Amino acid sequence: MKSTVVVLVVLASLAATVSAQASMALENVDVDNVLKNEKLVKRYIDCTLERGRCEQNGRDLKVMIPRVLNEGCSGCTPKQVENSNRIINFMKTNHPGDWAAIETKYKTG
């Protein structure tokens, strides 16, 4: 019984941490500088499509993509909406094939 309670507390803490991280995703990122760096853009594309390693910003992006595509960025801050729109417009213009693959992977409806 005690071990079950401990596991539940650990899981609740982990869920709260993930939720807090997701709520900050795309908040404090200089999107314009990232989008100017093609090597970094490719790394994020590979991360989101499970073709490469992910660092923290890439993992945050993977959490945000479904939220943006499926929920209209519900609960996002104005900065997150602005950054999401910049990224989407950039991807549609500069990497349309990768954007289509990302939409296929993350869009549910």
Q: Report DSSP letters for 6-29, one per residue.
A: HHHHHHHHHHHHHHHHHHHTTTS-
pLDDT at 5 over 60: no
Which residue do the tokens 């923290």 mark?
Answer: 56
Mean pLDDT over 47-62 rounds to 94
State yes or no: pLDDT of 16 exceeds 80. Answer: no
Q: How far, in Å, CA of 102 to CA of 99, rounded? A: 5
Does the pLDDT of residue 14 top 50, yes or no?
no
17-106: CATH topology: Antennal chemosensory protein a6 (1.10.2080)
pLDDT tier at 2, thresholds 50, 70, 90: low
Nearest to 18 by CA among 67, 53, 51, 52: 67
**Considering Cα of 102, then 104, then 105, then 107, what sign does the dihedral take?**
positive
Half-sphere exposure (Cβ direction) of 5: Cα atoms closer than 13 Å: 2
Name the pLDDT band for 67 (thresholds 50, 70, 90): very high
Q: How far apart are CA 28 and CA 11, in angstroms?
A: 27
pTM of the entire structure? 0.75
